[in-house]
Structure 1
Amino acid sequence: MTPAIRLLESQGIAHQITSYELENESESYGLDAARALSLPAASVFKTLLAQLDDDRLIVALVPVDTTLDLKALAKAAGTRKARMAESAVAERSTGYRVGGISPLGQKKRLPTFIDESAMAMATMHVSGGRRGLELSLAPNDLIALTAARTAALACR
């Protein structure tokens, strides 16, 4: 059981846990998850860590078939610039490995931003805290648990 699952269960949040096997692991863990689980890519969100121009870390969630618009993220966070955090920094800060970083149950609670497309969904899918483990939950529950803000963050 991962910290993400423990958090959901301790808060009584409705969710589903799905595990899957990766035949050929790629650099696109989120797309791999969508394919393995036969889910629309737009409903599967990847968890990314970015570093702002003042070196603060923040979390951004965007659909796996999109890229993160760093300028839009910086604007949503109230700064001028953002860049992707290095993998080692992301792993150290969250306690999860890249490819399995969950927005839930991270070692440090970081400001979180979710692409606004999630609000049109009844259920969204995020990493459960390790590669091959996916969580399904209502976007409003994820927002409540992470104190997230929504913004237009995805580039197609």
Structure 2
Amino acid sequence: MSKTNVARLLKQSDVPFDLLSYTVDEEDLSAQNVARKINYPLSSIFKTLVLETDQKQHIFAVISGEEELDLKAVALALSTKKVQMVPMNDLMRLTGYIRGGVAPIGAKKTFPVLLSDRAVGQSYMIISAGKRGWQIKLAPDDFLTFTNGILFTNR
């Protein structure tokens, strides 16, 4: 089993998970493509987006592959006026991860985690393991507990 930082940290904390692998297509890093390659429904694939508030605070927003991020919903959840996506060129510097491999666990810096309430009621969710070609399957409750995550409604 290839060890990613995410897998190592979850294992150290006795959080049950499965490590899934797939062949990376550099031309298509979409959640839809990941779902197809690992043969799981798109609703179970969660993508991690890095945002910045108007107070320059960084946040991980974790949303279902079926969703588009509603920046106003995130701002509302954080009680801030405005949030925006972090430029792709800043991902590595801020998180230690590259596009297509950003994980809300094991990043260079710990940021607050918002999880779409679409994860509620699902027996599992699948997130990046921190490397392209690797995904982690775990229970949404375990994810929320491990990350001290906050549920939000992504309208």
SS in 1 for 2:48: strand
Task: Give the corresponding residue for 2:7.
Answer: 5
Q: TM-score, normalised by structure 1?
A: 0.93
* TM superposition shift of 1:24: 6.2
* TM superposition shift of 1:88: 2.3
Task: Give the corresponding residue for 2:70.
Answer: 69
Task: Give the corresponding residue for 1:20.
Answer: 22
Equivalent-residue separation in structure 1 for 2:131 and 2:38 (angstroms)? 15
Task: Give the corresponding residue for 1:55.
Answer: 56
Task: Give the corresponding residue for 1:148.
Answer: 149
Matches within 5 A, 1:1-150: 1-23=3-25, 25-28=27-30, 30-150=31-151
Distance 1:24 1:110, change over 3 A: closer
Equivalent-residue separation in structure 2 for 1:143 and 1:109 (angstroms)? 14
SS in 2 for 1:120: coil
* Alignment RMSD (CA, Å): 1.2
SS in 2 for 1:93: helix
Q: Mark the runs of 5 or more structure 1 residues left unpaired by the alignment.
A: none
Does the aligned pair in 2 maintain the 1:25–1:32 contact within 8 Å?
A: no
* TM superposition shift of 1:90: 2.1
Amino acid at match of 1:96: Y
Of the structure 1 ranges 17-26 and 2-11, higher mean CA displacement relative to structure 2 is found in 17-26
Amino acid at match of 2:17: H
Identity of aligned residues (%): 33
Does the aligned pair in 2 maintain the 1:128–1:134 contact within 8 Å?
A: yes
Amino acid at match of 1:101: V
Equivalent-residue separation in structure 2 for 1:142 and 1:27 (angstroms)? 23
SS in 1 for 2:28: coil
Equivalent-residue separation in structure 1 for 2:61 and 2:92 (angstroms)? 15
Equivalent-residue separation in structure 1 for 2:27 and 2:125 (angstroms)? 22
**What is the total number of aligned residue pairs between the two structures?**
153
How big is each residue's C-alpha offset from its partner over 1:11-70, in whole Å with a ceiling of 9 and x where there is no partner? 011000010013563142x22111101111111000000111111110001111211000
Q: TM-score, normalised by structure 2?
A: 0.94
Equivalent-residue separation in structure 1 for 2:29 and 2:21 (angstroms)? 18
Equivalent-residue separation in structure 2 for 1:127 and 1:27 (angstroms)? 11
Amino acid at match of 2:108: K
Equivalent-residue separation in structure 1 for 2:4 and 2:96 (angstroms)? 10
